[in-house]
Structure 1
């Protein structure tokens, strides 16, 4: 953890703060590279590196050895190019008329996702000259990608322009977070047809969870995303990745409340005992979702408990509804002298796992990270690369 001397006054006094361990991100990438065996290992940095900052994360992973990156939109690729000068940067949303020179000028690789994009790209490179692209083939996800049959026809099409030069064919698994799903094998068999048809061109099927499925799924390039950021890729098994991020909120007030009184909007929480409550400066505007409420949301009717925070060695529950800017925690069981107004409560980190918080909201760690708001003051723990 950082020494206080390393921290700015803004971080030390911020209502909300986020600590990002860049060494843990680098170590997680190396672990995924180890698990990828003979395949190269890319890094997925879409959604501002899953909410953690494409600049710092991109530079860290480039210095750790990553040379293939995936982003969602061209503007992310333009930013990343500054920090990964010699990398291949693939843009997953592909390309549309009017932005082709943006790709050429920033040396970005479009991932062709449809027949319309394919036709436009062939025309663009016929005029511009050779420029790499990737082909996304749908093997059963029914999201983006060329239909399997069309991709196989394209592989044998001798009339395609010589300047059309894909460097990668790829697909995406729909159920890799469930190793027992039969769809994994179905998509694997379909993608093997693609890989064989495009002989001599690199193939990529596995993202984070797919990498854990084993060597059959690795092909030439794996594409880990959530695993780099410490999140669970495969549900129901122990997560081997290092935690990366700690989110904290400042306690603005500690107040006493009597048994029988209610807490927060709607009066949905009636206290069963005299209680001490900590009012923390975080809410759904900061990605701390309303579904994390201890009471008063439909999710609680399922019997799933609401979120917890961590402070002074204790896990403490959210009570009442999470509001836009404020959340109430029950700190009754924490010694009075252990907490004061101005202290920070951990929302998720090494003591409260990101994915445990996500489950309390009925969602996944991906959404928790990418939904972080703009009000967190950030501190990056540097790497020792």
Structure 2
């Protein structure tokens, strides 16, 4: 009987024009977004190193003569001199294509920059200080490239570099809205046609799981197809690229470099968990509000609640778990920096997304049991 019910729900889903329209939007997003992405001006390594070299002209010009005469000042000045020398050599190695020497010099530059952080960055104008976060990011990328013998300057517009950028763009609010709108009408037919649906002798949770399953498959199937279509389209326009090239992940208060293939796998697993969470959450709120528009509005308010509280100066760390839904910003470490919470990393993200799914399921089960008890006839003595 369960599979007959699923087949019945599947027929309803296939006749839902709204969901088909959303699926077409997902399908076309990845190939169409490339026209926007390809117009982006990305800074090359050569441009970056030119800026870094030119910055030392300002540093040397503003360096205090009084400080330079002290033993500490001489060490700082020597540090600056070595840094600019290494950076200029990096520019030379880029022209020669000598990646190994470029990486070795880059790792030494990062060491010197961290030494300056330990000294409090004396003698450096604040706007020219390279943040520790950027130092650790560059260090992770350089070490990964050195270990895997990868080129330093891959084409940013090949499929392997485009797909993570497209996923980061669609994840978060855009993805949430698509899933919420697609799942908002899951209970509409039951609420409007009680006599038809009650003909299926199936438990409430089995019905919910059936509804969520077919909506999940529809959404994620088109999502995967969209990624494949976008990858094929971009590969024909430029090239496939190298899925072993590095991507940065924020983990345990530091940045680690992983392959692009691994990064995409993490993203897809997380988005699958987010899809399930939003669909089950939609069912729960639909039961409470009996209104799909109110359901969408409430879930969007919940999504922005941590941001709103931070804006008014209220810091509730336990609410930050809601932001794991914005998985792109979690993986990049953006939200950890924004909220000042180092626990907002991808490992905690997976744990919390699984936990939140289980919590919503428990609440759904409990609410159904409570409703059943209230409706049960009272036996007279």
* TM-score normalised over the length of structure 1: 0.24
Work out which of the two has the higher radius of gyration on C-alpha atoms and give 1 or 2.
Answer: 2
Structure ranking higher in strand proportion:
1
* TM-score normalised over the length of structure 2: 0.24
